[in-house]
Amino acid sequence: MKRVGQPRHLRFAKALPVIAAAGALAAASAYASGGESAADERWWSPGEGRVFPEVLDYENEHGTLRTLLVGGPLDTEGHPFFEPISSNGRACVTCHQPADGMSLSAATARERWDATNGDDPLFAAYDGSNCPTLPQGERASHSLLLDRGLIRIQRQWPPAPRLGEEVVPDFTIEVVRDPNGCNSGAEYGPENGWISVYRRPRPIGNMKYLLAVGFNFDPKQGLALPRDPETGDYLSGNLMSDNRAFTLKEQMDDAGLTHLEMLRELTDDERDAIKAFEMSLFAAQQTGRGGAVDDGGAQGGPAVLRDAEPGELGSIGFPVWGEFAAWEEISEEDRARLTPEQVEFRQSVARGARVFRDRTFLVSDAAGVTTQMGFGNPFRVACKMCHNMTRMGNDVAPGQVDLGTTTLPFADHFGDLPLFRITCQNDPHPYYGREILTYDPGFALSTGRCADVGKITLQSMRGLAARAPYFSNGSAADLRAVVDYYERRYNIGYTEQEKQDLVNLMSVL
Ligand code: HEC
Ligand code: HEC
C-alpha cells in the first residue's frame, strides 16, 4: 500500500475537511470539533487522488463521525479502493463513503442525485437503479436508492456451491409481485436463474471485530464452523446480510464483478491493498450532543476500537457499551464546564447503555436464536443478547438471525420491493409454516434452506449516526424507528424515557 509521510499530510490539510492531528486527540474538548466541510469535499469521487488522512472528521446531524487510518495518511492515487478500476466509473469508495461511516446514507445518495442530475456513477443502471430495464434518466427508476439507500443485489438461483459443497434448495421460490421488473421477464427472475433483492451497503472498517471468531462452532445452525480454505483459520460468518462471502477476499471479488461490473478479476496486489485498507480503518462517532465521546471518563470513539482487542463475549457479564458508564455520575468539575443539556445528554447515553444491557423482554420466533440455541421460545433477552460484541455490537457468535425485518407478517410493508412466496418442500419453517411471504429471503439465498428464510447477519453498530436508514432493507428511517420496530415486534413496553435513552446511546456509537 502506498503511504505518504507526515509532511504531505499537513500540506494537504487545507484542502481537506476538518482534520484533527493525532496529537490533538487527547486535547479534544467537550465541544464538537466544529468545522465546515463543503459538499464536494464530503463526497469522495473515484480517482480524485486525494490523501486519506490518519484522522478525518465529518459532521452529521448527531455530531461528528471520525475515521482513523492506522499507518495513515494514505495517498489514494492508484489505490484500488479509490480508483475507478472498471468501466462503470465507480470505485469501492462510491458506496463506502468516509462521511457516512464507510457506508452510504440515503440522504447522501439524494445529494449526489441533485448535484449531478443523476449522472454520478453511483446511479449505474446495473444496481444503482431499481432495474437496468427502466428508463435511467428518471428519478423514479432510482427510487429505492434515493429513498432508502438500497442497492440491487442479484443472487444466483438455485444458489451457487457453498464452501465447495453443492447447495440443493429445500424450497421453491415464486415471484408474487415484481414492481421493478428485475424478478421476471426474459432475463431476470428465478426462472432465468436470478433473484434480485435490495440492500443497504454495510459499513467497512472496524473489521477486526467483524472477523473475530468467538466460537469454534456455529451455534445458530448447530454446524461446525467453516474454515478458510487458504489459511485453515475458522471463519466468523459475520460478513454480508446473507453471508455469501466468508472472507474479505471473497467479498471484494464479488463486489468487483457486480458493483464495479469488472470484466476481469482483481489482481493479488489489488486484493492486498484493499484488504490492508479495510483492516487499518476504524470508524465511529467522535462527538455528539454531549460533546466528545471520550471526554469525562467515557471511552467512546474510534481510537478505543483501534486499540482494543475483540472477542470478549458481551452477553456473559461483559458490559457491551461499558465505555459510557462514566457518564452515569457527572463530576462537579465536569458540570462546571458543560452545559446543562450536555450533562443531561451524557446521563441519557449512560442510561441507554443500561437499557441495552439489562432491560429484558421476550423474544419469540427469532429463528437462529429461539431455534437452535436451546434457550427456548419465547426467550427473555436484552438488546445485548444478540448484539454482544464489546465496542461493536455485532454478534460474537457466528450465524444469522430472523428478526422479521424482511419477512411478512413482521416486515414493514413496501409496495416498491419485490415479494416472494417460499414453499418449503420438506419440513415446514418452525414459525412461518410451509408458505412464507418475504421481501428478502436473506441467508436462505446462500444455504437454500427454508429454515433460514428471513435470517440476516447482524451489522456493526458503530457510526450509526452517519448512515441512516437502518436494517438490511433500510426500513427504519432513523434511530427512533429502529427502537419502534423492536417495540412493535416484541411488545417490549419501553417507557418514552427508555426509548429516548436508547436513541441517544445509538447516536454516539
Ligand atoms: C454500488 C455500491 C457498492 C460498491 C461500489 C461497493 N459496495 Fe461494498 N457493499 C455494498 C452493499 C449493498 C453491501 C451489502 C451487501 C449485502 O449485505 O448483501 C456491501 C458490503 C460490503 C462489505 C461487507 C461488510 C459487512 O459488514 O458485511 C464489504 C467488506 C464491502 N462491501 C467492501 C467493498 C469493496 C472492497 C468494494 C470495491 C471492490 C465495494 N465494497 C464496492 C455496496 C457497494
Ligand atoms: C434476537 C436478536 C436481536 C435482538 C434481541 C436485538 N437485535 Fe438488533 N438486530 C438483529 C438482527 C438480526 C439485525 C439485522 C436485521 C436487518 O438488518 O434486517 C439487527 C439490526 C439492528 C440494527 C441495525 C444496524 C444497521 O446497520 O442497520 C440496530 C441499530 C439494532 N439492531 C439495534 C437493536 C436494539 C436497540 C435492540 C434492543 C431493543 C436490539 N437491536 C435487539 C438482532 C437482534
Tens digit of pLDDT per residue, the chain (509 long)? 433 333 222 222 223 344 443 333 333 332 333 333 455 689 999 999 999 999 999 999 999 999 999 999 999 999 999 999 999 999 999 999 999 999 999 999 999 999 999 999 999 999 999 999 999 999 999 999 999 999 999 999 999 999 889 999 999 999 999 999 999 999 999 999 999 999 999 999 999 999 988 777 777 777 778 888 788 888 888 999 999 999 999 999 999 999 999 999 999 999 999 999 999 999 999 999 999 999 999 999 999 999 988 865 544 446 789 999 999 999 999 999 999 999 999 999 999 999 999 999 999 999 998 886 677 899 999 999 999 888 999 988 877 999 999 999 999 999 999 999 999 999 999 999 999 999 999 999 999 999 999 999 999 999 999 999 999 999 999 999 999 999 999 999 999 999 999 999 999 99
CA atoms of 74 and 69, how far apart (whole Å): 8
CA atoms of 149 and 476, how far apart (whole Å): 11
Please name the residue that has the C-alpha cell 444496481. 127
| pLDDT for 221 | 74
CA atoms of 466 and 483, how far apart (whole Å): 17
State in Å: Cα 476 to ligand 1 middle: 20
CA angle, corner 400, sides to 225 and 406, nearest 5? 155
Please name the residue that has the C-alpha cell 492515487. 77
CA atoms of 226 and 184, how far apart (whole Å): 34
| pLDDT for 215 | 74
277 contact partners, CB below 8 Å, separation of at least 6: 1, 69, 74, 79, 81
CA atoms of 216 and 219, how far apart (whole Å): 9
**CB 507, CB 62: distance < 8 Å:** yes
Count how many Cα atoms sit within 13 Å of the Cα of residue 461 in the half-sphere of its side chain: 28
Phi-psi category of residue 486: left, alpha or beta, with phi > 0 → left and psi -120 to 50 → alpha: alpha
Grid cell for residue 34: 466544529
CA atoms of 146 and 127, how far apart (whole Å): 12
Atom of ligand 2 nearest to the CA of 356: 37
| C-beta 353 within 6 A of ligand 2 | no
| pLDDT for 263 | 94
| pLDDT for 11 | 25
- Within a 10 A sphere around the Cβ of 488, how many other Cβ atoms? 12
Q: Among 356, 386, 462, name the best residue to mutate to test ligand 2's pocket (greatest count of ligand atoms within 8 A of Cβ).
A: 386
| Closest ligand to residue 209's CA | 1
Size of the chain, expressed as the number of residues it contains? 509
| Closest ligand to residue 108's CA | 1
State in Å: Cα 405 to ligand 2 middle: 9
State in Å: Cα 220 to ligand 2 middle: 16
| Closest ligand to residue 388's CA | 2
CA-proximal residue: ligand 2, atom 43 (nearest):
386
Q: Among 126, 235, 240, name the best residue to mutate to test ligand 1's pocket (greatest count of ligand atoms within 8 A of Cβ).
A: 240
| pLDDT for 312 | 55
| C-beta 259 within 6 A of ligand 1 | yes
Cα–chain center distance at 46: 21
| pLDDT for 67 | 98
Q: Among 87, 151, 155, name the best residue to mutate to test ligand 1's pocket (greatest count of ligand atoms within 8 A of Cβ).
A: 151
Grid cell for residue 442: 436473506
| C-beta 363 within 6 A of ligand 2 | yes
| pLDDT for 433 | 96
Q: Among 90, 95, 275, 461, name the best residue to mutate to test ligand 1's pocket (greatest count of ligand atoms within 8 A of Cβ).
A: 95
- Within a 10 A sphere around the Cβ of 375, how many other Cβ atoms? 15
| C-beta 471 within 6 A of ligand 2 | yes
| C-beta 509 within 6 A of ligand 2 | no
Atom of ligand 1 nearest to the CA of 460: 26
| C-beta 201 within 6 A of ligand 1 | yes
**CB 384, CB 352: distance < 8 Å:** no
Query: For the chain, how far is it from start to end, CA to CA, in angstroms?
Result: 29
| C-beta 284 within 6 A of ligand 2 | no
| C-beta 383 within 6 A of ligand 2 | yes
CA-proximal residue: ligand 2, atom 10 (nearest):
458
CA angle, corner 291, sides to 357 and 498, nearest 5? 30
Atom of ligand 2 nearest to the CA of 200: 27
92 contact partners, CB below 8 Å, separation of at least 6: 80, 81, 82, 252, 255, 259, 260, 274
| C-beta 387 within 6 A of ligand 2 | yes
State in Å: Cα 362 to ligand 1 middle: 33
CA-proximal residue: ligand 1, atom 11 (nearest):
201
| C-beta 274 within 6 A of ligand 1 | yes
| pLDDT for 8 | 28
| Closest ligand to residue 369's CA | 2
- Within a 10 A sphere around the Cβ of 174, how many other Cβ atoms? 13
